[in-house]
Amino acid sequence: MSTALLALVAVILCILFRILNVNSAPRKPLILCQDQSFLSTVLKIAPVIAEPYKPTRLWGFSGHVQTIVHSVIGRVRCPWPIGVRVSIKLTDETTLTYDLYQPLTNDYEDDVTIAICPGICNSSESIYIRTFVHFVQCHGYRCVVLNHVGVLSSVKVTAPRIFTYGHTDDYHVMLQNLIQKHPNTKIICIGYSLGGNIVTKYLGERGPNKLSNIIGGISICQGYNAIEGTKFLLSSQNLRRFYMYIMSESVKSIILKHKNILLSEEMKQRFNLNEGDIISAATLLDLDEAYTRRVHNFRSVKELYKWSSSLFYLENITTPMVFINALDDPIVPEILLDPIKEHAKTHPNTLYIELAHGGHLGFYEGGLLYPNPITWLDRTLVSLVGSLTLAHADKSMKAS
């Protein structure tokens, strides 16, 4: 082998090692919690959050690979849980659907329902949602999963709108309908990425007036502040502009798929919509300027983003909350995590968990090349649901 070829192989290996970050070692998550009593209760059932997270050896230390594997492949050996699809016609003529899954075991004494709000352009049919639903069904929990309006191909859009980053009413309607069916159930709200923002904002909007069945909330990989987050996603640093493009195209495809309703002549005239601007939008900022802020009657995209961002509702949350983020998340830069860290340090019943690795919603663990079937995130979430249920029981016992 020639010296030049050896040098080329060495360079390629160096690049791969740098991208895959294989020289990293498993690390314990950073835990921030001002309320030591709350933390102690959580750790009784979820000691996993104080243990080192061990990503898949060859590629799990790369936030990009974790994120891409999650987006393209999803979970290993994904089941298809059996549930019932519930359809509700709203006052604005929107057809809202959610999927209801009953527990597969009766070992758990409490009636607990996990109310899931998926990430952007996701639904109950998304692979990571299906895997988690089946996993928690096997642990004796009921699940409901919101299907973001416009996402499911099998459900027609019947009103001139789809989901947005900060629209919480659909989630509220799902919970109300759930409580009609199961009035005594205790609800733990879980949101992924965009869904994490919606769940957090929802609990902040309602504050002490929230539905009494809700006993806890968990947010995973959200960015908290859409105004600042969009600025970073417009940067080419760390491939963020690439991720912005993928998300923009996903939302755009939903709009164009339902253009007969969303971009009818009446809608174009009423909201001054230009279909060409929507089709040519290269970023979420462009798309929200051309479409979202107009149909939702905001004067500017900045105004829309401020209204949407959970950061501005944190102070009103009275529900016990757990926030989970990864430092190597290529979509949510580290600087966006500073406000939630400060919040966890100064507010009761609030826990912040930060992993060095995991990417955006990845958190694969174990194995050299092929990860474990159950991710760190899925098994940790089940433990945290148990912890929040225990914290609620302890609080109720003290109150009585």
Task: Report the distance separating Cα 386 and Cα 184, nearest Å.
Answer: 17
What tokens were used for 326? Answer: 């990864």
Instruction: Give residue 97's identity as a one-letter amino acid code.
Output: T
Q: What totals of helices (H) and strands (E) does the chain contain, helices first? A: 16, 9
- Cα–Cα distance measured from residue 163 to residue 148, given in angstroms and rounded to the nearest whole number: 6
- Euclidean distance between CA atoms 133 and 79, whole angstroms: 9
DSSP, collapsed to helix, strand or coil, labels residue 94 as coil
How far apart (Å, rounded) are the C-alpha atoms in residues 22 and 381?
26
Count the Cβ atoms, other than its own, within 10 Å of residue 63. Answer: 25
Task: Say how many residues make up the chain.
Answer: 400
Tally Cβ neighbours within 10 Å of residue 243: 18
> In sequence order, what are the residues at sequence separation of 6 or more whose Cβ sits closer than 8 angstroms to the Cβ of residue 52?
26, 27, 28
Give the bridge partners for 95, in sequence order.
89
SS3 label, residue 373: coil
What separation in angstroms does the CA of 73 have from each of 70, 78, 139, 314, 400? Answer: 6, 10, 25, 34, 49
Collapsed DSSP state (helix, strand, coil) of residue 356: coil
Question: To the nearest 5 percent, what fractions of the chain are helix, strand and coil?
Answer: 50, 15, 40
Burial class (CB in 10 A: 0-12, 13-18, 19+), 45: middle
Task: Cite the active site residues.
Answer: 193, 329, 360
